[in-house]
């Protein structure tokens, strides 16, 4: 394993920081950190945002350099503060170099 593999997890978790923070994060992973793949991950209401970030990164900032390789959706169940079972959707968008 090469030194670059020290940073094993090229995942970017989408939350409510400014939109461009995440797009820049994707670009830095592919450029400065020379990642072969970047995985954009989000839960619940942030899923729409994750798709926006994947689209803007792959169609504008790194057009013809990266593409969407795979998209996975799933659910997580957990107990909320009142002890009720709650289901939340998750998405993982795998971006890869072209």
**E-only strand ranges, the chain:** 11-13, 37-43, 66-79, 85-97
- What distance in Å separates the CA atoms of residue 51 and residue 29, rounded to the nearest whole number? 17
Could you tell me the smallest distance in angstroms from the CB atom of residue 19 to a second copy? Answer: 12
Q: What's the alpha-carbon Rg for the chain, to the nearest Å?
A: 15
The mark string for 56-75 relative to a second copy (x by CB under 8 A, - otherwise) is: x--x--------x--xxxxx
Could you tell me the smallest distance in angstroms from the CB atom of residue 63 to a second copy? Answer: 11
Applying CB under 8 A, does 14 fall inside the site for a second copy? no
- What distance in Å separates the CA atoms of residue 22 and residue 3, rounded to the nearest whole number? 24
Q: Under rule CB under 8 A, which residues in 40-59 are in contact with a second copy?
A: 44-48, 51-52, 54-56, 59
Could you tell me the smallest distance in angstroms from the CB atom of residue 32 to a second copy? Answer: 25
Contact pick of 39, 93, 94, 95 for a second copy (by CB under 8 A): 93
- What distance in Å separates the CA atoms of residue 58 and residue 35, rounded to the nearest whole number? 15
Applying CB under 8 A, does 87 fall inside the site for a second copy? yes
């Amino acid at each position: 394993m090469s030194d670059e593999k020290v940073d094993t997890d090229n995942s970017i978790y989408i939350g409510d920081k400014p939109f461009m923070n995440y797009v820049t994060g994707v670009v830095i992973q592919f450029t400065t950190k020379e990642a072969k793949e970047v995985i954009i991950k989000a839960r619940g209401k942030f899923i729409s945002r994750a798709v926006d970030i994947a689209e803007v990164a792959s169609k504008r900032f790194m057009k013809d350099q990266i593409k969407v390789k795979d998209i996975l959706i799933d659910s997580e169940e957990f107990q909320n503060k009142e002890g009720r079972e709650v289901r939340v959707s998750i998405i993982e968008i795998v971006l890869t170099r072209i």
